[in-house]
Every structure is written in structure tokens, then in C-alpha cells.
Amino acid sequence: MYLLLGASGVGKTLLVKRLQKLCSKDGSRELGEPPPTLPTVGTNLTDLLIQKKITIRELGGCMGPIWPSYYGDCSAVLFMIDAANPTQISSSCVQLLSLLSAEQLASASVLILFNKIDLPCYMSLVEMKSLFRIQDIISCANQPITVVETSARDGTGLPDVLQWLRSTLKEPS
Ligand SMILES: Nc1nc2c(ncn2[C@@H]2O[C@H](COP(=O)(O)OP(=O)(O)OP(=O)(O)O)[C@@H](O)[C@H]2O)c(=O)[nH]1
Ligand SMILES: [Mg+2]
């Protein structure tokens, strides 16, 4: 089970819809216009066929206080941040540190996604890295952490997300 976490409105539901489209067998790799999304109340399960079937469980941002109750059967975590929303940075950082220190996720692989880089006001990875002190976080964490920049809207970085998902399948769990 893969967990997809992040504050409300960062783009988690759109990401899984886009990944589903990229993995679909209809032969079309064109993403087209972004489909509409609604805030996720509760959880949203999506199956993807990447070498084998994997399930991504998105937990709505509004479920933050009970995210830990889903850590148990999780082998990898995707943590999404809205790179165009400076007001969410500190709360996202606290959420990330708290999940990295959770005992049940001690051996999970972690992918951090800086999303919405299509917006003109987005903060670059260089800026985000210093605001987030991501290098310090990576060097202190027990988990292997990968960072990607994405736009679930226009598809930038989504092949990197699929590549990361594939790489987690190769690791012995
Ligand atoms: N410009 C832009 N908008 C995006 C991007 N990703 C998502 N959005 C928009 O952001 C809004 C919220 O997206 P959702 O996918 O519903 O957000 P969420 O993280 O699932 O939110 P919760 O379910 O409430 O936790 C929607 O209007 C999306 O179209 C992106 O990369 N760029
Ligand atoms: Mg959602």
C-alpha cells in the first residue's frame, strides 16, 4: 500500500487521476484538460498497473489528525506540497517531520513532490530546499527520500513519479 499525503488542495486527487491516465491501456498518453476534483473527505483508493497492480491511498488533507492510523500497512509514502503556496510551507514541514519520525514508517521509502510548478508564482526547488531545509531533513531521516517537482495540471514530472513507484517495487519489502 502506498500512502499519498499532503495538505488540502495541494493536488493529490488530480495527481492520482493523471497517473491513472498515464498507466491506462487505452494507448493515449495525451493528458488533455485536467479533470475536476472535489476535496477528499476520508480516503480515495486508486489502483495503478505498474509492472504489477499497486494501490495508492490518498488521505484527504482534512484528515491530517488521523493520518497515523493508516501508517500500519504502508510501504511507501508520497508527500505532496503546494510549491505555489508559501503560507502552507511551515505546516507542511511539521507534517513531514512528524511522518518521518513515525515508528511505523521507519523503513518506508518517501517521495516528496513539490507540485503546481506550472503556476507563475511557484517557488523553485532551490528556494523550496532552503525554506524547507530539505537537505538537513534528508540527512537526519532514516528513510530513503527522493524529491521531485511536478505539475499535476500539465504533467511535468509525472514520469519521474512513475519511475519512483517502479523503483520501490524492486526493493525488498
Ligand atoms: N495550477 C495547478 N493546479 C493544480 C495542480 N494540481 C492540482 N491543482 C488544482 O488544485 C485544486 C485542488 O486539487 P486536488 O487534487 O483536489 O487537491 P487535494 O490535495 O486532493 O485536496 P484534498 O483532497 O482536499 O486533500 C484543483 O482545482 C486542482 O485542479 C497543479 O499542478 N497546478
Ligand atoms: Mg483529494
Other Cβ atoms less than 10 A from the Cβ of 28: the count is 10
What helix, strand, coil percent values describe the chain, rounded to 5?
A: 40, 25, 40
Least confident range from 42-46, 108-112, 126-130, 158-162: namely 126-130
Residues of the chain above pLDDT 90, percent: 78
90 Cα–ligand 1 center, Å:
19
Render pLDDT for 74-96 as a digit per residue (tens, 0 to 9).
999 999 999 999 999 889 999 99
> Does the CB atom of residue 118 touch ligand 1 within 6 A?
yes
Render pLDDT for 96-127 as a digit per residue (tens, 0 to 9).
999 999 999 999 999 999 999 999 999 988 88
What is the mean predicted confidence (pLDDT) over 46-71? 94
7 annotated ligand-binding residue? yes
Task: Dig out the grid coordinates for 73 from the structure.
Answer: 500497512
> Does the CB atom of residue 10 touch ligand 1 within 6 A?
yes
82 annotated ligand-binding residue? no
Task: Dig out the grid coordinates for 68 from the structure.
Answer: 497515523
Q: With the CA atoms of 12, 157, 49 and 31 taken in that order, what torsion angle do they form, in degrees rounded to the nearest 10?
A: 80
From the alpha carbon of 37, which atom of ligand 1 is closest? 16
